[in-house]
Every structure is written in structure tokens, then in C-alpha cells.
Amino acid sequence: MAKLTGRALEIVTSGQNHAHVAVPTADGTVQTVIAWTHVDDDGNLTLNTTEGRAWPKNLRRAGTATLTLLGDGNPNEYVSIRGRLIGDTADGAEEHIDQLSQKYLGESPFPYREPGEQRVRLTLEPIRVTYQAEE
């Protein structure tokens, strides 16, 4: 397991830096989505989505994804994290989306719930972390 430390950890945990999540698809292409993320107490990345979307299905099949976050919107500073799926649960997913909503929107509960949606919390263990900063 790789560790998120220093500025790489700051990029993920502070501010409202969105993750570009790249997931391999069944046909070998790559699907990319934008997602909210945070780091749990064990240093793993947490994501939240709803069941029925293609990207969690692709993540479950592939078992890995790469997340890239820009440092405060600066394209010359970023962290790229390759992660292995280690958690996939609906337990606590509603509370988790409320926490992410507070981080990214400044409000909780999450205001965009749809009737009947099933939230899911996905956890990725970092296996490679690359931090880049250019002047």
C-alpha cells in the first residue's frame, strides 16, 4: 500500500478539489468521471455514487481505478493515485454523501437526492501515489 502524505494528502483532503476517476471498461477503453472524494482514517480514498451507474460497475469488474486531482485548480500541480477497490457498501453511504456534500457544497444534508436512489460508498486503497508540481 502506498501512503498519501504531505502536499499530495492536502490536495485530496483540503478544499474542493474534484477527482478525475479513470476506470478501465470491459472493452479495454477507459471511462472517466468527475467525483467527490476524501481520505478515511486508514488513508484510503472514499467515493460515493448511486447504484445503476456504469462507472461503479466497471470499477467492480476491474478492481482498480486511477484518481487525479489538481492542486487548487492548478493544472501544473496534481496528485495521481492508482487504487485498488477494497470497500463497496451501502452501509453508511447516506451519511458519507452528506459529509462529502458539506466538504464540496458547504451544506448538509446532500441536496440532490433522487427518490428511490441507492447510495454506495466505494473505498480505494492507494497502491501508487504520484505527486507533481511544476513552476
pLDDT at 3: 94
CA distance 81 to 110: 26
Identify which of 92, 110, 106 has the alpha carbon closest to the alpha carbon of residue 40: 92
Q: How far apart are CA 105 and CA 66, in angstroms?
A: 24
The CA-atom distances, in angstroms, between 46 and each of 75, 83, 88, 133, 135 are 23, 11, 10, 24, 30
Predicted local confidence at residue 135, as pLDDT:
65
Sketch the domain layout of the chain as residue ranges: 6-133
What kind of architecture, by CATH, is found in domain 6-133? Roll (2.30)
Query: Please, which residues have CB within 8 angstroms of residue 6's CB and are 6 or more apart in sequence?
Result: 131
Using 70 as the pLDDT threshold, list the residues of the chain that sit under it.
135
What DSSP character marks residue 17?
Answer: P
